[in-house]
Amino acid sequence: MTQKITITTLKQMKSTGEKIACLTSYDASFAKLQDETGVDVLLVGDSLGMVLHGDETTLNVTMTDMIYHTGLVSKVCQRAFVISDMPYESYTSAMQALENAKRLFNEANADMVKLEGGAEISEAVSMITEAGIPVCGHLGLMPQSIHELGGYRVQAKTEAEAKKLKQDALSLQASGADCLVLECVPAKVATEVSDMLDIPVIGIGAGVDCDGQVLVVYDMLGLSDKEFKFSKNFLSGKGSIADALKDYVTAVKDNSFPSASHSYE
């Protein structure tokens, strides 16, 4: 029997220094392959709006979409920990957040739900975690706030922005969050946040010193229209998708990915 990864496992990995390999996943075929090749965490991301639906942003993704795709992924996972994104406008109030988190947890069998935002969502995080549903925070570049952020650009570059990000990270942890995704922030800031928190920090475009790494699976297989600085094509030169996935897990675990060229200063 394969040992299922839990939030306790992820926290132990942080404490022992073992890196957490995470990828997005949206369907049973990919999820089964990712699970079998040693990916620790599968994130059913609202990025599906862009990579599956062909939209410019994640903003059109619905709760129905997230429940459907999360259910497909969780159904086949024997080992991997499954995190599901709460989509845009599904947590505009703490009570709405709790009801929608319960749906992802009960109807789609997510192991954890992920919300974007800092101190302003602390009440929602508290309510969800008090109901026994683990929460992952998301700071830095937050795709659901892309219009407010002025586009897809590196966050927390100034001292004031970095200070606020750290305060938000501490607020999320204090509210009960068990994990945090940091997207597109300077590597130095991400290192400081990872060291500061007791909970695992998973980075994307946030340097090598986070407790784990996540990429959109289509990006790391070279299937996306755009190339991103923080990503790498792991399928290039490989014989199969399975080989590419194994190579990604190995590269995250041995700290060879991300390199300085995939990170921001």
- Give me the pLDDT at residue 68, please: 98
Supply 195's token pair: 């060291």
| Type of residue at 108 | A
**Residue from 183, 192, 227, 265 carrying the catalytic annotation:** 183
- Give me the pLDDT at residue 256, please: 97
Percent of the chain with pLDDT over 90: 90
Residue 124 pLDDT more than 80?
yes
- Give me the pLDDT at residue 183, please: 96
136-156: average pLDDT: 82
Give yes or no for a contact between 167 and 197, defined as CB atoms under 8 angstroms apart.
no
| Type of residue at 10 | L
The reported pTM is 0.96
* Tens digit of each residue's pLDDT (9 = 90 or more) over 177-218: 999 999 999 999 999 999 999 999 999 999 999 999 999 999
Domain coordinates in residue numbering, the chain: 7-262
Give yes or no for a contact between 90 and 61, defined as CB atoms under 8 angstroms apart.
no
Residue 227 annotated as catalytic: no
Total Cβ atoms within 10 A of residue 15: 11
Residue 88 pLDDT more than 70?
yes
Total Cβ atoms within 10 A of residue 195: 10
7-262: CATH class: alpha beta
Residue 1 pLDDT more than 90?
no
* Tens digit of each residue's pLDDT (9 = 90 or more) over 28-73: 999 999 999 999 999 999 999 999 999 989 999 999 999 999 999 9
- Give me the pLDDT at residue 149, please: 58
Give yes or no for a contact between 210 and 13, defined as CB atoms under 8 angstroms apart.
no
φ, ψ for residue 215, nearest 5 deg: -135, 155
Residue 2 pLDDT more than 90?
no
Mean pLDDT, the chain, whole residue set? 95
